[in-house]
Structure 1
């Protein structure tokens, strides 16, 4: 079941890197796009983002659930269920906080929704970063420094 862990590690760290880029660079730049072009920009953004994150998020979710049933050696229930909980936070935040704001922004420019998107995205940023740390802790337990 090491392959599940490796797939989870890669997919999680892909998302950790991406979410920090989105948080620090991408969302703050939304306000600079300008009103006449913004809805077209946002619609294209949503479509392209789906292709960039969809397969990776699904891989991460599938491996997270699979590891509950087939954990790699030495990964106890505290690790597996903590990972599930953090990923649950990410998915709920995406569905409840980010997607509705993106849908509004696809139809009209709104500085309030852009600001709300950037602020609420901290939930995902912290949860994904925490998942990354959790996986690193396990990795360092499996491959201790000798």
Structure 2
């Protein structure tokens, strides 16, 4: 049996987010530690502004599609797990990662904070990868 249009759209948003988070984890966050104060402040401002145009539509689409598929499936177990994982990405982004970025802005540059951001971000890498794997099942 093939994927429905909604399942295909969900898989596309999931794959988009997993590719993005792996790029953030392996390229973008580690690069933060290699800036000086002036360069970091300028680059981080540009990064935060521009990444929002990519992340927000993908995360919003993922949340809406996850909720729709949960409802449409009659609350099947895998859809419940998917929805909870997607919700955890929203919560962790809003409650932990966004404030971490705000600390970086306030402190104008902090190598230990950059390192902490990179290390703790493995949580999002793992969860978004699991979301993709669950939707391939």
Calculate the TM-score normalised by the size of structure 2: 0.91
Alpha carbons 1:68, 1:80 under 8 Å: kept: yes
- Give per-residue Cα distances to partners, 1:89-138, cap 9 Å, x unaligned: 2111111221011112123101122111111111111110000000111x
Show structure 1 runs of 4+ deviating over 2 A.
none
Taking only aligned residues, the RMSD between alpha carbons, in angstroms, comes to 1.6
What is the aligned residue count? 134
Give me the whole-angstrom Cα distance separating, in 1, the residues matched to 2:37 and 2:75.
Answer: 51
2:121 aligned counterpart, secondary structure: helix
More deviation, 47-56/29-38: 29-38
Q: Which has the higher contact order (CA 8 A, sep 6+)?
A: 2
Alpha carbons 2:63, 2:87 under 8 Å: kept: no
Equivalence for 2:48: 46
Is 1:128 matched with 2:135?
no
Equivalence for 1:21: 23
Give me the whole-angstrom Cα distance separating, in 2, the residues matched to 1:17 and 1:77.
Answer: 27
Is 1:82 matched with 2:81?
yes
The 5 A counterparts of 1:38-117 are 38-71=40-73, 77-107=76-106, 108-117=108-117
Instruction: Mark the runs of 5 or more structure 2 residues left unpaired by the alignment.
Output: none
